[in-house]
Amino acid sequence: MRLVVSFPLMRLMRPPESLSDDEPLRWSELSEVLDALPDIIATFDRDGRLLCMNTAGIDRLGYTAHKLRGLLLTDLYPEPDAERVVVGPLQEAITRGSWSGIAPLVAADASRIKTQQRWVAHRADKGRTLRFTLVARPVQDASDIELRNRREGLVATSLGLVHDMNNCLGPISAYADLASAVVETDSPAQRYFEQILRAAARCSALAARLSDLARARQPELTSVDIAEIARETVSWLKVSRPDLKIELSSTDLSTKVFGDPVQLHQVVMNLARNGVEALSDRAGSVSIRMDHADPERATLPAGSYLRLEVRDDGRGIDDETQAHIFEPFFSTRPEGSGLGLAVSRDIVQAHQGILKIEPAIPKGTLAVVYLPLVTP
C-alpha cells in the first residue's frame, strides 16, 4: 500500500497503482488545499524518509527539490533533539495515534524555527504503522501559546468576577445609603458613608470597564483630572495603611488629560498600591507628584505633557526585575497576579503616553507616567 496523498513533491513518489479514472482529480484538489495552508505539512515513511511536503513547508524551511530527495525526519531537528523526537513523540504517536507539543525545526540555512507541532501515525488495517505526518505551525516564541491560553482563561474568569462583584456592590451601596439617611447630617460618620458610596461607584465603573475590555469594547474618552484621581487614591490608601506616610504634592498647574477615567484611575491606583506593597510591613513613605513634562526628556512627540511621579522608599528593584517588570503574569510577590503593571502600561500607551519604572535614588522605586495634557 502506497501513500495516496502527494502534495507538491509528487515527483518524489510513484502514483498509486489502484487509482480509478476519477480519483486523480480528487488527488489534485487535495494537493491544492494542502498547498494553500500556511502550516508546514510533511509525510515520512515508517523508516523516517520524506515522502512529500507542501509548499509552505518548502518555502519556510528553504529546501530545494534536490535537497529534499532522501531527506530524513531527523534532518529537520537540531542534533540534541533529533533522537529525542524519534524515541519520544513518535513513540507516543505510534501508541496513541498522535502527539502534539512545542519543538524547533531546522531550516536549510541551519536556522531554527520554533513550532507548535502535531505528529499523526497512519496505520494499516492490521495496526502496523505505515508512515507519519507532521503538521507544524511556526510561533514567535513557545511561551506565546501558553500566554494566549492563560489570557483566554483570564477573560473568562474576569467576566465571572465582574458578575460576582456587581452582586456584592449592590447591597454595599444600598446599606450605605440607608445608614447615611439615619445618621445626623453633621455627624463625622457622614464623611465615611460618602467615601463608601464613592468607592462602590468606582468599583462598579471598574467592573463595567473590565467587562468592556473582555468584550473588546472601546473606552469612553473625556477630560479627566488626574489630580482628583490622585487625591482619591491617597485617601483610600491612608485608610488601608495608616502607619505609612502617603503624600500628594499639590500643584497649581493643569492636570487634565483626555482619556478614559476608569482606566486612568486604574493606572494611578496600581502604581500607588505597588509603592505601598513594596514597603511590606516596614515603615516608609509613598509620594505622588505632578508637574508639566519636558517632551525632549520624555522622548515624546512635541506637545504639552503631564508628568505623574509615584515614588516609594521600599526595597527597590534589581536589573533582572526591571527587565521583566512589564511582562504579563510576572510578579516578585507570591500572591501577586503580575498584571497590574502590564495593564497599566497598555492603558498609558493607548492614551499616547509612556510609563517607566526605575530604581529611585537613594533607594526605592520610581514610577513615571507621561500623558498628553488637554490643550485649551
DSSP 8-state code for residue 71: -
Q: Domain 10-139 adopts which CATH fold?
A: Beta-Lactamase (3.30.450)
Q: What share of the chain is helix, strand, coil (3-state, %, to 5)?
A: 45, 25, 30
- The CA distance from 58 to 72, in Å, is 14
With bands split at pLDDT 50, 70 and 90, how would you rate the model's confidence at 127? Answer: low
- pLDDT at residue 171, rounded to an integer: 78
What is the reported pLDDT for 16? 41
Burial label for 320, CB within 10 Å (0-12, 13-18, 19+), is exposed
- Whether the per-residue pLDDT at 15 is higher than 80: the answer is no
pLDDT at 146: 58
What confidence tens digit (pLDDT) does each residue in 264-306 have?
988 998 899 888 888 876 778 899 999 998 766 656 777 889 9
The mean pLDDT of 6-26, rounded to a whole number, is 40
Spell out the domain ranges in the chain: 10-139, 142-217, 218-376
CA distance 318 to 295: 27
Q: Which residues pair with residue 354 across a beta bridge?
A: 370
Predicted confidence at residue 274, as pLDDT, reads 87
**Torsion-angle region of residue 338: left (phi > 0), alpha (psi -120 to 50) or beta?**
left
Residues paired with residue 115 on neighbouring β-strands, in sequence order: 103, 138
Three-state DSSP at 137 gives: strand
For 241-261, letters b (16+ CB in 10 Å) and e give beebebebeeeeebbbbebbb
Answer whether 142-217 and 218-376 agree in fold.
no
Mean residue pLDDT of the chain comes to 77
> Which residue type is seen at 134?
L
User: Residue 20: what pLDDT?
Assistant: 44
CA–CA separation, 96 and 43 (whole Å) = 18
Stronger pLDDT, 154 or 327, i.e. the higher one: 327
Q: How far apart are the first and last CA of the chain?
A: 79
Mean per-residue pLDDT for 312-333? Answer: 78
Options 1.10.3470, 3.90.550, 1.50.40, 1.10.287; CATH of 142-217: 1.10.287
User: From CA 264, how far away is CA 258, in angstroms rounded?
Assistant: 10
Domain 218-376 class in CATH: alpha beta
Residue 288: its pLDDT value, please?
94
Region for 357 from its dihedrals, namely left if φ exceeds 0, alpha if ψ lies in -120 to 50, beta otherwise:
beta
Residue 273 grid cell: 498600591
| Average pLDDT for 198-208 | 74
All three cell numbers of 372: 498628553
CA pair distance 127, 318, nearest whole angstrom:
58
pTM of the model: 0.48
Q: How confident is the model at residue 322 (pLDDT cuts 50, 70, 90)?
A: confident
How far apart CA 371 and CA 367 sit, in angstroms, is 13
